Amino acid sequence: MEMISFNMAHGFAEGVVRGYRASLLTSHQYASLTQCETLDDLRMQLSATDYGNFLANEQPPLSTAVIAERATGKMVAEFDYLRSNATGDLAKFLDYLTYSYMIDNVILLITGTLHERDTHELLQRCHPLGVFDTMPALCVATTVEELFHSVLVETPLAPYFRECLSASDLDDLNIEIIRNTLYKAYLEDFAAFCQSLGGSTAESMTKLLSFEADRRVLNITLNSFGTSLSKEERARLFPTIGRLFPAGNNILAKADDVDQVRAVCESVPEYRGFFAGDGGSGGDGDGAAEGLEDKMFKEETRLNRVETITQFQFGIFYSWLKLKEQEIRSITWIAECIAQGVRDRISDFVNV
């Protein structure tokens, strides 16, 4: 398709996203899905929605994994359609949306190389939104040092690796530290780019990226309790953006238990319910992190629903992608409950 001008691409793509937003599953459709007795029933119900016949060619028995994979494929095709019609700042903004998936994909390949796995096989497990043209070249590397230097040359993530890491950092013990270091650099870079755009986009994306940064700070803190990660190392992983920055981050960097994390969340009205009903003081970081995840997904969904009704700003693309991902998680949850016969928990999903 011939590339169109930036303004036309923005208007066209925003119109398409608004159409996609209208196609998100309604509460009535979710209710219908939860009444399904089998996965074939679920397929039939989904065929009456915007998902259409995306499972029509799948042979029985249908599996939850296939449903999730095909739904993700449809989302990726829609995103690629937007991306192919964007130019200028919009095209760069959409590229930024793919970098988080690239980080996860590269970390997957690094882990596979460390464990001497077949990296060509791991390519099949990579998220399609994080696939880039030169990714197969990374599979040629046989050591982490070779992989590190390939990443610096062959991927859009090169600046994040170059500025934050060295080849000696790439070992099994550091893998989650590496992931969080890259995400910190990515979020700060993305936030700076959005600020450079100014206007409604800067305002909208400040809210959305601040939440993502705060989510990572809270998870890093809770998951570091009882580990060998020092408080100084913990602090270095915190993004320097977000509603918790700087005062909340400074407290969390030194926190020793869940009560201190809870107290920091109390300072932000929207975060006060994150630890409601967690059943105790002090507590275990892993257990608190598990309960926190669902509540943060709900808050993320609320934020993104608000942003998709605003106009003439790029945040709508970020929000649509996040809402679509949550919708796929919800469909997968319903499908898994049907497959496992766990109907008493089938409604425990986030309604987008």
What gap in Å lies between CA 30 and CA 36, rounded to an integer? Answer: 10
Exposed, middle or buried: residue 66 (CB in 10 Å: 0-12, 13-18, 19+)?
Answer: middle
Does residue 81 surpass a pLDDT of 70? yes
Burial pattern 153-177, b for ≥16 Cβ within 10 A else e, equals: ebbebeebbeeebebebbeeeebeb
Most confident of 2-6, 14-18, 129-133, 274-278: 129-133
Q: Quickly count: other Cβ atoms within 10 Å of residue 45's Cβ.
A: 18
Instruction: Please choose, from the candidates 236, 239, 242, the residue with its C-alpha nearest in 3D space to the C-alpha of residue 224.
Output: 236
Query: Residue ranges of the domains in the chain?
Result: 87-197
What gap in Å lies between CA 138 and CA 145, rounded to an integer? Answer: 11
What gap in Å lies between CA 252 and CA 270, rounded to an integer? Answer: 18
pLDDT score for 22: 64
pLDDT-derived band of residue 4, with 50, 70 and 90 as boundaries? very low
What gap in Å lies between CA 237 and CA 287, rounded to an integer? Answer: 21
pTM of the predicted structure, to 2 decimals: 0.90
Most confident of 49-53, 186-190, 224-228, 284-288: 186-190
Query: Can you tell me the mean pLDDT for 48-56?
Result: 93
Which residue stretches of the chain are H helix? Answer: 6-22, 27-34, 39-47, 64-84, 88-114, 119-123, 135-138, 144-154, 158-164, 175-197, 199-224, 231-236, 247-253, 258-265, 285-307, 315-340
Sign of CA dihedral 150, 155, 159, 163: negative
**Percent of the chain at pLDDT exceeding 70:** 89
What gap in Å lies between CA 292 and CA 188, rounded to an integer? Answer: 24
Instruction: Please choose, from the candidates 98, 87, 91, 89, the residue with its C-alpha nearest in 3D space to the C-alpha of residue 2.
Output: 87
Does residue 32 surpass a pLDDT of 60? yes
Exposed, middle or buried: residue 340 (CB in 10 Å: 0-12, 13-18, 19+)?
Answer: exposed
Higher pLDDT among residues 146 and 92, named by residue: 92
Does residue 137 surpass a pLDDT of 50? yes
What gap in Å lies between CA 145 and CA 152, rounded to an integer? Answer: 11
pLDDT score for 117: 82
Exposed, middle or buried: residue 1 (CB in 10 Å: 0-12, 13-18, 19+)?
Answer: exposed
pLDDT per position as a tens digit, 291-339: 788 899 999 999 999 988 887 899 999 999 999 999 999 999 999 999 9
pLDDT score for 121: 84
pLDDT score for 3: 41
